[in-house]
């Protein structure tokens, strides 16, 4: 445990979150980080927080003070969300929060997917069908 953050928690952070946490903890110990230049101005020891609440408050204050911090964290978080979302395409999704789980496709839908050459027993990617239909219309041939 360093700065009141258990190692398993620290290593569960994304690269962007871990980077931000290291900067914030360093600033707590007196280091000054220039978010525009993306480098420390003053290299001092890592900052320590007595608990995660104090750490979260410090992150919020830091983000409010610097649009560069907010922009950087938003961009990195968006990349992480995009990566996870793309990995979920073609997989049935479980219930999450207020959203119901995805139901299995009807037999007639699976039959149509088979006829069109799509992967069976997976949610239908409607965009892929639109692209295929568009390609077929332009070329006059059907693509699987």
Q: What is the C-alpha to C-alpha distance for residues 85 and 77, in angstroms, rounded to an integer? A: 12
Of 47-61, 85-99, 118-132, which one has max mean pLDDT? 85-99
- Label residue 68 by pLDDT band (50, 70, 90): confident
Model pTM above 0.75: no
């Amino acid at each position: 445990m360093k700065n009141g953050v258990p190692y398993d928690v620290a290593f569960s952070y994304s690269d962007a979150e871990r980077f931000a946490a290291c900067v914030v903890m360093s600033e707590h110990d007196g280091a000054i980080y220039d978010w525009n230049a993306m480098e420390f101005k003053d290299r001092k020891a890592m900052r320590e927080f007595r608990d995660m609440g104090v750490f979260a408050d410090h992150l919020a204050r830091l983000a409010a003070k610097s649009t560069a911090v907010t922009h950087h964290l938003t961009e990195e978080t968006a990349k992480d969300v995009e990566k996870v979302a793309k990995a979920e395409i073609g997989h049935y999704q479980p219930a999450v929060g207020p959203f119901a789980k995805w139901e299995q496709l009807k037999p007639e839908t699976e039959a149509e997917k088979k006829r069109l050459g799509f992967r069976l027993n997976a949610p239908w990617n409607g965009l892929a069908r639109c692209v295929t239909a568009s390609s077929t219309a332009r070329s006059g041939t059907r693509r699987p």
